[in-house]
Structure 1
Amino acid sequence: MSYTALNLDELRRILREVAGEDDTTGLDAEIADVPFSELGYDSLALLELAGRVERDYRVRLADDTVVEARTPGDFVELVNLALAGER
């Protein structure tokens, strides 16, 4: 399957799968501008998230760019730019 865009609802689903349902807190609230650190995700978790998105969305994300994504909104933008061939 080929995806053309990532949205916050899909990111929530992936975050739950990567972290496990019990480890995710606050994902049902508005998370676009909440820092990953406040959601309980560190840089290692972000790299794991990126690996999952790369597989599912067939897109390449540079590690240094991934860890610069401070919020889910930043991450969604990063993925969508890569899908559009702009990154």
Structure 2
Amino acid sequence: MASGWASDDAVNQQIDGTIADAIDNARRQLNQNSLSASYCSECGDPIPEARRLALSGVQYCIHCQQQIDKQLANATALYNRRGSKDSQLR
């Protein structure tokens, strides 16, 4: 049972919105270029051939990709979709 101005399916709408955002982020991260780079676009180190064959369109070495993934995770982790009173008071 919802109280206040929230609709009865407000929680489901929040979950659906979070999933839709995650799908949009994943689609943006897909590389449209099917050619893999021989050298990392970030640091310039050579990308191993096994990585280039395994991931079509890879542009970063493993180390740089891990750093990028951490930055993206940190950026999205700070976003509070719930907007509950408890989270607003903290």
Normalised to the residue count of structure 1, the TM-score between the two structures is 0.30
Greater RCO, 1 or 2 (C-alpha within 8 Å, sep 6+): 1
Asked which structure has the greater CA Rg, the reply is 2
Q: Which has the higher helix share?
A: 1
Normalised to the residue count of structure 2, the TM-score between the two structures is 0.29
